[in-house]
Amino acid sequence: MPKRVDPLDWRTPIVDGSGRPTQEFMRKWQEQKGINSGVPTDAASLSVILDFIGSTQGDLLVRGTTKWARLASPADATKFLNGAAAPAYASVKDSDLSTSDITANDVSNTKHGFQPKSPADATKFLNGAAAPAYAAVKDSDLSTSDITTNDVSTAKHGFAPKLPNDATKFLDGTGAYSTPAGGGGGGGASWHPGIRGTGWFYPVTFNGTSTTSVTYAQDRIFCSPIFLTACTLTQIAVNCSSSSASSTARLGLYSNAGGAPDALVLDCGTVSTATTGLKTITSLAMVVTTGWYWVVATLSTGGTGLTTIGSSTITPASAYIFGVGTPNAVAAFSASGLAMNRTYATLPASLAGSSWSYITGMPLIGLAL
């Protein structure tokens, strides 16, 4: 550092009574000027002096509390010199930003930027316009595809599934397109005047004027066709005419396809056949459309007797539905239902493709609203 002239004594005046510099002040001034003349002022000379503090490219000089010091570059383009009391290179954090209501640096179609201020409206979303803005999503904004993730189901609202391009199928209550229950040939309200609010309704294939008891084997499913008009059924019942200890009967309803049971409409549950009498399952919610269905029963224990209508003569309805006999021998054939072997359990989701045999004396199963 250049030498400094000793300071004037406080008792030494700087100017005289006329306001002119005193001789002592001028002597000191000339002495300091002589000293200053030796300090280099050109860039080359200053560079030599500064290189004594830091000579690496990118170094900065920082004045501390007592002296100048070298601040080396971190050679890291992601770091910047901050404004701390002791300045240092550091990464810029999101918490370092101070945002405001100025929109100059908001995102646009020409540059990246800040997200616009929230509108405090949960029904609006940031769109992708040239000047992005929060707006309500319209149906016309949606782009649908063949992905089924957001289709309607029994657990949530959603999109209708893609159309099957089949005019015979309709969207059912499970969220799938299917042929309406009772489909597969024929059907129409003319088969029945309508299900009334009182009374029990039975299959049309029974013939006879009196009931009788039939003992049925276990591990078999017994099915009989019934035509229903659109309604919601709440009850299903059978009559146990001879009981078996700890035995149960399981009842249900299937749709029709090709003249045989098809898809399960409802497994209605079980009734005890350990005692005799009318056995009813209530509080059901079987929603059906107009068409043909099949009522079914299966028993857990052999030797259980259920009520049926006895007959050895085929009914006109049986001939129409089952297509049995020949014109000269139709009266010799009697059938009121179909049966197949199956281990007693909950009813399967589908009976399509099963191997059936005709039976006489189908268990009399009633349905009611």
Written in H, E and C, the secondary structure of the chain is CCCCCCCCCCCCCCECCCCCECHHHHHHHHHHHHHHCCCCCCHHHHHHHHHCCCCCCCCEEEECCCCEEEECCCCCCCEEECCCCCCCEEECCHHHCCCCCCCCCECCCCCCCECCCCCCCCCEEECCCCCCCEEECCHHHCCCCCCCCCECCCCCCCECCCCCCCCCCEECCCCCEECCCCCCCCCCHHHCCCCCCCCCECCCCCCCCCEEEEEECCCEEEEEEEEECCEEECEEEEEEEECCCCCEEEEEEEEEECCEEEEEEEEEEEEECCCCEEEEECCCCEEECCEEEEEEEEECCCCEEEEEECCCCCCHHHHHHHCCCCCCCHHHCCCCEEEEECCCCCCCCECCCCCCEEECCCCCCEEEC
Contacts of 307 (CB under 8 A, 6+ apart): 211, 212, 213, 214, 238, 239, 240, 241, 363, 364
For range 50-71, the mean pLDDT: 74
Mean pLDDT, the chain, whole residue set:
81
Residues 83, 198, single domain; the answer is no
pLDDT the model gives residue 9: 64
What would the mean pLDDT of 262-288 be, rounded to a whole number? Answer: 94
Q: Confidence band (pLDDT; 50, 70, 90) for 271?
A: very high
Domain assignment present for residue 64? The answer is yes
pLDDT tens string 331-363: 555 677 889 999 999 999 999 989 988 887 788
Residue at a domain's end among 90, 118, 152:
90
pLDDT (average), residues 229-237: 90
Share of residues in the chain with pLDDT > 90 (%): 22
Number of domains in the chain: 2
Residue 49 in any domain: the answer is yes
What percent of the chain lies above the pLDDT cut of 70? 78
Instruction: For residue 177, tell me if it sits in a domain.
Output: no
Final residue of a domain: which of 59, 90, 121? 90
pLDDT band at 27 (very low <50, low <70, confident <90, very high): confident
**What integer pLDDT is reported at residue 339 of this predicted model?**
92
Residue 208 lies in a domain: yes
C-alpha to C-alpha distance for 53 and 62, rounded to whole angstroms? 10
Q: Rounded to whole angstroms, how far apart are CA atoms 338 and 357?
A: 5
State the pLDDT at residue 182. 47
Residues with Cβ within 8 Å of 227's Cβ and at least 6 positions away in sequence, in order, are 182, 187, 191, 192, 204, 291, 292, 293
pLDDT at 263 over 90: yes
Among 101-105, 168-172, 191-195, which stretch is predicted with the lowest mean pLDDT?
Answer: 191-195
Q: Does 209 lie in the same domain as 63? A: no
Q: With contact defined as beta carbons under 8 Å apart, do 14 and 8 qualify?
A: yes
Q: What is the pLDDT of residues 65-78, one digit of tens each?
A: 777 777 888 888 88
Sign of the Cα torsion 357, 347, 182, 197 reads positive
Which pLDDT belongs to residue 114? 86
Task: Grade residue 189 by pLDDT with cuts at 50, 70 and 90.
Answer: very low
**Residue 106 counted as domain residue:** no
Residues 227 and 354 in one domain: yes
Rounded to whole angstroms, the maximal C-alpha distance in the chain is 158
Q: Worst-scoring range by mean pLDDT, 90-99, 178-187, 194-203?
A: 178-187
Higher per-residue confidence, 369 vs 317:
369
The pairing of strands 357-359 and 366-368 is unpaired
What is the per-residue pLDDT for 343? 94
pLDDT, position 297: 95
Q: Is 70 in the same domain as 212? A: no
Give the pLDDT score at 38.
Answer: 60
The string of pLDDT tens digits covering residues 289-323 is 888 899 999 999 988 989 887 654 556 666 667 76
In a domain, 175, yes or no: no
Task: Give the per-residue pLDDT at 334.
Answer: 64
Average pLDDT over residues 27-43: 66
What pLDDT sits at residue 277?
95
Q: Domain range holding 259?
A: 189-368
How confident is the model over 198-230, as pLDDT tens digits? 788 888 766 566 678 888 899 999 998 888 888
- Token pair, residue 347, equals 């009813």
Task: Kindly list the distances between the CA atom of residue 128 and the CA atoms of 54, 119, 294, 337, in Å, as whole numbers in the listed order.
Answer: 51, 16, 56, 64
Q: What are the tens digits of pLDDT across the range 147-172? A: 888 888 888 898 888 888 877 778 88
Q: What is the predicted pLDDT for the residue at 347?
A: 96
| Of the residues 52, 67, 90, the one at which a domain ends | 90
- Do 81 and 200 belong together in one domain? no
Tell me the pLDDT band of 280, cut-offs 50, 70 and 90: very high
